[in-house]
Structure 1
Amino acid sequence: MDHNEALEQSRARVIEAISQNMDLYGVTPSIGRLYCLLFFADKPLTLDEMKEQLGMSKASMSLGVRTLLDLNMVEKAWRKGVRKDLYVVNDDPYQRFFDYFSTKWRGAATMNTNAIETTIHELQVLTENPETPEEVRERAQVDIKNLENWLEYYDWLNRLIDSFESKEILEFIPIHKNKEQEE
């Protein structure tokens, strides 16, 4: 095996692993391969260059790039004399994770909190209604208590998300281990 083949085999192993795990970001393995293509590219690439290297349709390629742009995993680049859009990997994996985690979890926490708060209000009205049977009232009170525990969880989750957005989390888990921690 020559050196170029060894290099390509090494890259292929990483590409396969990363593309299979891109579902963590809510994307398909083919978009993961697109991301890896840009990661290993030695220059910004156009849609046509990516299409040629991956053998995907231009429509699929465009959708994949748009998805990666939305996830802040790639960004547009500029090169003098090139009129087509060029793309490169956003080379800050920590910020990508913070952005993705914050966006996805904040949306879920907000949606669930709103649903829980509305439900708690409805259940309180039900428990205060003198016509509500005692058995239903008791079950509603249990539900209210359980849902209030969920609200505590979503409050904690929102504070965790805040720590990602402010980067306060890095005070507790620094990006690089300091020398004292390694020894």
Structure 2
Amino acid sequence: MHDKEIIEKARERVIEAISQNMNLYGVTPSVGRLWGLLYFQNQPMSLDGMKHELEMSKTSMSTSVRSLMDINMVDKVWVKGSRKDYYEVQEDWYQTFIDFMTIKWRNGVIINVSAIEKSLHELNDLLENENLSQELEMEVKSDITKLHQSLEYYDWMNRLVDKFESHEIFDFVPKKR
């Protein structure tokens, strides 16, 4: 096996692992493969270059790049003398993790808190119903208690996300230098 083949095989192994790992977090394997490809590039790539390397359609490449940009894993960069759009990865793995996870976590918190608040409003309105049986009143009060407990969790989750975004997390779990 030639040196270049060894390098390609080593890169492919890591790209495949990254792709599988990202799939665990709701990112399609093809998007994960694209990020892995960009990670090993020593220069920004155009959509045409990505298309050629991964043998995917330009539309699929564009959608994948947009997905990576939405989670702050890829940046659009300017290349002197070219009109094409070029892209490169954020090479700080810590920041990539922070951006990716906090975007996912915040979205989850927003969706769940919104549902909980709407349900709390409806349940509190139901408690005002004078015709509510004692059994149903106890059930509603139990649900309200559970929902308030869940709001405490989501408050904690927001504070955790804040610690990641402010990098205070590194005070508790330092980066190795």
TM range (shorter): over 0.9
Give the superposed CA RMSD: 1.5
1:168 and 2:149 correspond: no
Q: Percent identity?
A: 53
> How many Å apart are 1:114 and its aligned residue?
2.3
Q: 5+ unaligned residues in a row in structure 2: which ranges? A: none
1:157 and 2:157 correspond: yes
Name the SS for the 1:76 alignment partner: strand
Q: What is the rounded CA distance, in whole Å, between the counterparts of 1:92 and 1:127 in structure 2?
A: 52
> How many Å apart are 1:172 and its aligned residue?
0.7
> How many Å apart are 1:111 and its aligned residue?
2.2
Give the aligned residue type for 2:114. N
* Contact residue 20 and residue 32 of structure 1 kept, 8 A: yes
Q: What is the rounded CA distance, in whole Å, between the counterparts of 1:56 and 1:154 in structure 2?
A: 40
Quote the residue 1:36 is aligned against: 36
Name the SS for the 2:87 alignment partner: strand
Alignment of 1:4-153 (within 5 A): 4-153=4-153
* Contact residue 48 and residue 58 of structure 2 kept, 8 A: yes
> How many Å apart are 1:56 and its aligned residue?
0.6
> How many Å apart are 1:25 and its aligned residue?
4.2
Q: What is the rounded CA distance, in whole Å, between the counterparts of 2:61 and 2:77 in structure 1?
A: 17
TM-score (norm 1): 0.89
* Contact residue 163 and residue 169 of structure 1 kept, 8 A: yes
Q: 5+ unaligned residues in a row in structure 1: which ranges? A: 178-183
Name the SS for the 1:27 alignment partner: coil
Q: What is the rounded CA distance, in whole Å, between the counterparts of 2:60 and 2:138 in structure 1?
A: 54
TM-score (norm 2): 0.92
Q: What is the rounded CA distance, in whole Å, between the counterparts of 2:80 and 2:72 in structure 1?
A: 24
* Contact residue 73 and residue 100 of structure 2 kept, 8 A: no
> How many Å apart are 1:76 and its aligned residue?
1.6
Q: What is the rounded CA distance, in whole Å, between the counterparts of 2:77 and 2:114 in structure 1?
A: 40
Name the SS for the 1:88 alignment partner: strand
> How many Å apart are 1:125 and its aligned residue?
2.6
Give the aligned residue type for 1:101. M
Q: What is the rounded CA distance, in whole Å, between the counterparts of 2:80 and 2:110 in structure 1?
A: 44
Q: What is the rounded CA distance, in whole Å, between the counterparts of 1:27 and 1:61 in structure 2?
A: 14
* Contact residue 25 and residue 100 of structure 1 kept, 8 A: no
* Contact residue 123 and residue 144 of structure 1 kept, 8 A: yes
> How many Å apart are 1:7 and its aligned residue?
1.1
Q: What is the rounded CA distance, in whole Å, between the counterparts of 2:114 and 2:52 in structure 1?
A: 47
Q: What is the rounded CA distance, in whole Å, between the counterparts of 2:108 and 2:33 in structure 1?
A: 28
